[in-house]
Structure 1
């Protein structure tokens, strides 16, 4: 049977799926209609187009054995009978159609699992926003694409030309390019030389990982070392079993503003992002009476694809970072965060791509136990490996349009899991940083407060470093 095989990481995203931990990622895009068009007119036009749409990869791929997820020959195959009207749906917000109503709808949509017997994605066209915008919520299973690839696919389907009125739907094959190549080409058959290279690479990776683990072990005995080892995170309200109910909130920052903070602190844009989240989390947990004495630990996914890689499947490593939430002063807090991220980066210097992936798996291994024990209601058996996941995905640098309608924001919506009830994901777009806060409604209540407090944390940093 033709098709692309699933990698072990892709299979992992399938096998840990449950009613509470649904492994889909999503994006919430808002477009500002132009030329007097109304959102409901745009959605009606898109609905009418579905009857004649030809769906392109990866949006027409489904699992060969959806009822046997661990099938040894599991792979992606083309769905020759795909029904676009099933995957694309139309919704309208109740009055007043404000950000709160939109957040409630996205929370509800993200709480529903995808049908794995079909191509695992859905798109919801949302009208009724009080600002007149059209919203598009697209979710796709993480086993099919990672966040990097999803962002690439969606942005590639938009246009940089505001006068381009012929932009096809993001999942549709353009009429002039029906033979367009897929991002998910079939995997070639392994050769003897490839097997030898893989084995040789494996030995090299193991050697690198062994050296890194020695460093981790030494860091446990050296309190001055900023490197974060496993099983050092404090217990928080985020570390328990989650329900299937979600809460979603957003925040948008101007990138030049954050870059000024980075320049003043001597850190990176990612360091500033972590400091903003840390400041928001400190106030949020304090308000709930749940701030631990020890600092929260974040898991930071790291894209290990080569430059200009088109994406497809999953290729994500990661590192641990100290959020220093026990420190009250924002200046001292970000300085501690910068030291932590530098130590984590130094840990991976000189390691091959395979070694970094293997090292990430070893570093995260205790979290697999943490997730399993949390699912069984035994979250106190082991100390957590980390408390929150914070991702930063690079997005388009120029404004994008869909048939002349300008994309104003693009918020990622990620995955809470047992033992990690809160996930914060960021996507840069045209001079802005769009942040999506997604959490379990029961373990992370009043999530909009966290989004607001994270915005306040920007002002705190600017004040601390005298930035005007």
Structure 2
């Protein structure tokens, strides 16, 4: 799917931006030596694998092969910021790097070590195509490559870690037949799981159909989103901005309101979006609808490949009062969770497909410039990826912040992704450069929206 969606204007890669503080006593050659060590490190699967048919992205028989001419110098690069090396300069560079397409004639990933940050810091930007791993898997893999103590200076780089066994790994052409047989068997098992969960899926679909007729239903069916400035055709260039919140602040609001951490985050983003769109003169009368990817792996799964379902939820942008906005979001997400409670993994995938099927009209309309005519299923993507809870280190350098950088697309020009790390929620805002101007303002408004929500919840609990 992610290969089929790849185009010059819609690039299906995700990334992570990590800030590191140099260890005590580090000399001026620390980053150069780190770069040299990476260039000399071994490369294990899947990081040494490329597509067998890189020039034919619509090939239905894709499979991975080992790159016998793997060039580490291409994949691991070193950059420096222009003076003064502040957050703005880094944001400009990351926006540019994220706008560049992946080279499919090579393994689809890049790592950029970025020096020149003020305060004795450097950054690492890692870009991976979504067809190789999903966000959950990527975070798990990168977490395994970092040490839990500053004294551990020999921990393998993420691309040097031996892969955990996931069955067949042969990549020669003769394995294609075996792969097709395996895929057919998996599809049969998937169909069986879906059949066994037919009742749960049917009930969920019926609830959605009824919600279309109910004027004040909390559930969000397809084709219910308003037209917005985020639903047009996107260009190839990106904007990137960040925000950071203490998890304790979000948890306190969640505890006081009876909602979840995700509910609070949605309400905060809804408040920031309301102010941002009002400034732009683009605020719709109805609430924006968020597309929420859902990790459907069983608890304890370490990841691998792509396992993602989806649901829809309102952002509450039509509600001025922060407390009432949160109540509306909690009501909707509670019903959305109930929809999937009795479903197997196969059923969740089937239900997600049903829920998002109408978005094909949205994407097609945006591509041909008819976004004002075709109905919208959602307006933006909001994702939350759980990250490491403890402080991590790279060759003694402390990982200070870890921001996700995700995917905007035709009909969905804004993506907001959260990643928790070491007591904080790090938020990456990624938008089409043409369709979403002044993106940093949205980050600022979002921070103010959390303050407003805290005040509103405090008044309710007095």
TM-score scaled to structure 2, two decimals? Answer: 0.94
1:414-453 matches, cutoff 5 A: 414-453=406-445
Find 2:24's aligned residue among 35, 39, 58. 35
Q: How far does residue 310 in structure 1 lie from its aligned partner after superposition?
A: 1.7
Q: Which residue of 1 aligns with 2:173?
A: none
Is 2:449 the partner of 1:457? yes
Q: Which residue of 1 aligns with 2:5?
A: 16
Is 2:61 the partner of 1:76? no
Q: Which residue of 2 aligns with 1:131?
A: 119
Contact 2:38 2:157 in 1 (8 A): no
Contact 1:58 1:183 in 2 (8 A): no
Q: How far does residue 150 in structure 1 lie from its aligned partner after superposition?
A: 0.6
Deviations 1:231-256 (A, max 9, x none): 11111100000111110000111111
Contact 1:231 1:382 in 2 (8 A): no
Is 2:91 the partner of 1:98? no
C-alpha change, 1:194 and 1:236, in structure 2 (3 Å) is closer
Is 2:372 the partner of 1:383? no
TM-score scaled to structure 1, two decimals? Answer: 0.92
Q: Which residue of 2 aligns with 1:171?
A: 159
Q: Which residue of 1 aligns with 2:353?
A: 361
Deviations 1:393-417 (A, max 9, x none): 0010111111111100100000000
Deviations 1:6-41 (A, max 9, x none): xxxxxx100111111000000000111112325x62
Q: Which residue of 2 aligns with 1:116?
A: 104
In the aligned structure 2, how far is the partner of 1:69 from the partner of 1:205? 33
* Secondary structure of residue in 1 paired with 2:357: helix
In the aligned structure 1, how far is the partner of 2:65 from the partner of 2:167? 11
Q: Which residue of 1 aligns with 2:42?
A: 54
C-alpha change, 1:107 and 1:198, in structure 2 (3 Å) is closer
Contact 1:58 1:184 in 2 (8 A): no
C-alpha change, 1:400 and 1:183, in structure 2 (3 Å) is farther
Q: How far does residue 50 in structure 1 lie from its aligned partner after superposition?
A: 4.4
Deviations 1:155-182 (A, max 9, x none): 1100111211112322124xxxxx6535
Q: How far does residue 300 in structure 1 lie from its aligned partner after superposition?
A: 0.9
Q: How far does residue 373 in structure 1 lie from its aligned partner after superposition?
A: 1.5
Contact 1:303 1:315 in 2 (8 A): yes
Find 1:271's aligned residue among 251, 257, 263. 263
* Secondary structure of residue in 2 paired with 1:465: helix
Deviations 1:61-99 (A, max 9, x none): 111111122334311122222111100111111111111
In the aligned structure 1, how far is the partner of 2:443 from the partner of 2:237? 18
In the aligned structure 2, how far is the partner of 1:95 from the partner of 1:195? 54
Contact 2:115 2:122 in 1 (8 A): yes
Q: Which residue of 2 aligns with 1:251?
A: 243
Deviations 1:418-452 (A, max 9, x none): 00000000000111100000001111100000001
In the aligned structure 2, how far is the partner of 1:192 from the partner of 1:445? 46
In the aligned structure 1, how far is the partner of 2:184 from the partner of 2:405? 42
Structure 1 unmatched ranges of 5 or more: 1-11, 174-178
* Secondary structure of residue in 2 paired with 1:314: coil
Q: How far does residue 185 in structure 1 lie from its aligned partner after superposition?
A: 5.2
Contact 1:216 1:229 in 2 (8 A): yes
* Secondary structure of residue in 1 paired with 2:400: strand
* Secondary structure of residue in 2 paired with 1:56: coil
Q: How far does residue 53 in structure 1 lie from its aligned partner after superposition?
A: 2.1
* Secondary structure of residue in 2 paired with 1:29: strand
In the aligned structure 2, how far is the partner of 1:170 from the partner of 1:184? 21
* Secondary structure of residue in 1 paired with 2:158: coil
Structure 2 unmatched ranges of 5 or more: 170-177
- Segment of structure 1 superposing worse, 442-451 or 49-58: 49-58
Q: How far does residue 359 in structure 1 lie from its aligned partner after superposition?
A: 0.8
Q: How far does residue 200 in structure 1 lie from its aligned partner after superposition?
A: 2.4
* Secondary structure of residue in 2 paired with 1:86: helix
In the aligned structure 2, how far is the partner of 1:131 from the partner of 1:198? 52
Q: Which residue of 2 aligns with 1:176?
A: none
Q: Which residue of 2 aligns with 1:143?
A: 131
The CA RMSD measured in Å over matched residues stands at 1.9
